[in-house]
Structure 1
Amino acid sequence: MSTESSRRLAWRKSSYSGNEGGECVEVAVAPGAVYIRDSKDVHRPNLFVQAAGWSSFVKFAVDY
């Protein structure tokens, strides 16, 4: 997905981020993939992982 296309995704921040801005990671879900970006620099290329990989990461983080 191009950077231009990824800007049209519905980006979300963690509910733990608060409203003060600052250093946040945002995620957006697309068919088969999850995109990740730095909220301070949204014009840089995004990282993306397959949905199964994201699912494994979240499970690990929750179980940790």
Structure 2
Amino acid sequence: MTDPVTLRWVKSSYSNNGGSCVEWAPEYAAATGEVLVRDSKVPDGPNLTLTADAWAGLVAVAKSHS
């Protein structure tokens, strides 16, 4: 498992609405090709590991529902 303390997590620019937010670790994705995703309200909770294609799909679905 990746140490969450050493990762830099990034929220969407839309996340200042006070709602549910997803964060991701872009440097980890660039280095490994895997996209780590977590719930911003539970920073010590579990991470999802997505492929780049799965991440792109998740982002596309989120954009289509905003």
TM norm. shorter chain > 0.5: yes
Question: What's 1:54 paired with?
Answer: 55
Identity %: 47
RMSD: 2.3
Larger radius of gyration: 1
Higher helix share: 2
TM-score by length of 2: 0.65
Query: Which runs of no fewer than 5 residues in structure 1 stay unpaired?
Result: none
TM-score by length of 1: 0.67
Higher strand share: 1
Post-superposition, which runs of at least 4 consecutive aligned residues in structure 1 deviate over 2 A?
Answer: 20-23, 55-62
Query: Which runs of no fewer than 5 residues in structure 2 stay unpaired?
Result: none
